[in-house]
Chains A and B, each alone.
Chain A
């Protein structure tokens, strides 16, 4: 059904500037009908910005956009939708308090003939992609992948000819990812094009037909995926040759540092494990397996039913994050915007907020030291920001993440817990974070690392624990165990 040769979307010389940043610089792409079009690029390369211009959230400064043969001057999200261009954002775009059906037909209640029509049509659409989600279920009660399906269904309900997915996989498990892949293939068969943005290059190679690499607001290259190798792609993304996606594994594991026994909460059942000195311990599991819950419990952020915690052989009580910090722990939380950063505050304030105690004498903060720390971490981590006083909400995701990493580096904790440290972060920045992790263990610290990217865990950790439904189901040496072996334990 696809019409080769015909472009559904043509973007020519689009520019966009934000105060102090040239986010897009003469960007041109052409998306044919019925293809999956991948876009990759470092954090802050301008991928999301381009998509937001296409969907009408931002206005372009200059350039032309042609959709389905028609030149589009200005557009709003809803006009774009009705024209047949829908976008699934990095963050979900659903009303949690309303039902699935109403979310799919949000704003078109009357056109669909009231409550009954909405649910009937939603049911039919969901059935057509083989989903069994109830249309009456509240979206807030759904899992991440189910929400994604609702988003896709919503896009389909508009008869979209182009669906943009901005990092759709960042919160999906591999199982759910497979389902998503199937749906994308279905879309392709229907002649619907997909723009697929991801930092996970495996997915790009698996799903995409054509790929565009962006860097610093420019398109570096656009080619069929088959014509580009992985290393070539990475090289183009970061603008330099990377021999390896991962730095060499460290081997400086010492004696036991932290012992957890019988950790039990509503979701966790009798979790016990040991973290050694100088070790990177990886947690592998599906979303909702309880990895975050384990580390939050250790860190004292959540209440627990029972557990004992031995730190350097001594039983220690950690009832809140403060005590955890005193005991030498640090936590990089899963959701950087909601739990990590204070978005309206400056980069500096965000970096120093965990180490304020040390800068304080008689209750008074030493401002010059604070500045010094801010500058140091910005330089140390290579955070791209106009100044230390810039508010963090204008930073790109990766740079935001670096601010939080910087916060903990400054504190130099014995045990650093990283919950999805590289989620939504580009390859270059990832590499930097990996190097940082190695530096920490080299200096005698230990790391617990949670990640949904299996290769990352396998390449970085000294030991891997698999978690399934709140239980520790296995322990592996990543250097000897195969990925398949580990995954099978993680699935349960």
Chain B
């Protein structure tokens, strides 16, 4: 009786994990090719870029805000990075891309604090507008052309390595992600800056009266998000070897869904970057499994939506 309860509670607390296990088992039984190493590494490669973006988004949501402009940042950073390889070389381009992401995020944070947007809905639509601005700038810069890194005259082997290289059999992109994740986990749980984010998410006024600089924390959160988007952008770009002003379309909604499915509430204050990773994993796995099971693309969209709605619903029931 006791044990049963414990088991139930464990299941309840780890629904996402359970979902992943069920999905993996069912797919592996019906389509054994699922377990091929190549497929598994593919899934890992595929999820890294979204995982980066979702990682940044986790901080934004813990801080009690939201950001719809990640798609704009991902695309603009990809354009900037790809077009800088020729003039300044790949290391320079990479650094500039990351810097650009951080700056775009900082710009978001600054605009929001200057306007004094504090309600999530305000933030939602302001970043929605910013997304439009970023994408438009990217389009103006490239004239909607797709930039291909393979066309650069300078070496670009570092980018291809990020996208498709492996180290000891593990994709390099996932290694980079693991390092960043570890840093971010440490940052969230152990540092003052990380704590200030969740305190702000919990109660802005109280945090302010205890000496936390809300505006600065907000800028920091958005800068982190911009930086993470830049990482996501670069990983994605090196994987597909192209950069466009529309790269990463749909990432904003997907990232938010991953974060929420992972168990971070939109109310702010509570959340965990590791759980977000589970969310990303579930979402990525889902489309892979559907493809392998031969479901039509349309059915996949239905299933995607259904799984998300169910995941959020179940997660919510647990909290009630």
Contacts and interface: CB of A to CB of B under 8 A. Distances in A.
Interface of A: 299, 301, 320-322, 324-325, 331, 333, 338-345, 349, 353-354, 356-357, 360, 363-365, 367, 407
B270 A356 contact: no
B192 A357 contact: yes
A407 B210 contact: yes
B195 A342 contact: no
Given A365-B190, A365-B195, A342 B207 contact: yes
B205 A338 contact: yes
B206 interface: yes
Given A353-B199, A356-B195, A342 B208 contact: no
Interface string B189-227: 011110110010011011111111100000000000000
Interface in B4-31: none
Nearest to B267: A344
B269 interface: yes
17 contacts: A320-B211, A321-B209, A324-B211, A331-B209, A333-B206, A339-B205, A339-B206, A339-B209, A340-B206, A345-B202, A353-B206, A353-B207, A353-B210, A356-B195, A357-B192, A365-B190, A365-B191
Contact of B209 (A301, A345, A357, A364): A301
B269 A344 contact: yes
Interface in B251-297: 269-270
Given A342-B269, A344-B270, A407-B210, A356 B202 contact: no
A349 B199 CA distance: 9
Interface of B: 190-193, 195-196, 199, 202-203, 205-213, 269-270
Contacts of A322: 211-213
Contacts of A340: 206, 209
A351 B199 CA distance: 12
Q: Considering the complex of A and B, which 4 residue pairs feature the smallest CB-CB distances, nearest first?
A: A342-B202, A322-B211, A342-B203, A325-B211
A333 B209 contact: yes
Contacts of A407: 210
Contacts of A360: 191-192
B64 to A, nearest CB: 11
Contacts of B206: 333, 339-342, 353
Contacts of A299: 209
Contacts of B202: 342-345
Contacts of B199: 342, 345, 349, 353
Contacts of A339: 205-206, 209
Nearest to A356: B192
Nearest to A331: B209
A444 B253 CA distance: 56
Contacts of B195: 356, 365
A322 B217 CA distance: 13
Candidate in B191, B202, B213, B269 with the most chain A CB atoms within 10 angstroms: B202
A363 B193 CA distance: 7
A317 to B, nearest CB: 15
Contacts of A364: 190-192
Contacts of B196: 356
Contacts of B205: 338-339
A322 B211 CA distance: 4
Contacts of A321: 208-211
A350 to B, nearest CB: 8
A367 B190 contact: yes
A367 B190 CA distance: 8
Given A339-B205, A342-B202, A343-B203, A363 B210 contact: no
A322 B207 CA distance: 10
Contacts of A367: 190
Contacts of B193: 363
B203 A341 contact: yes
A344 B207 CA distance: 13
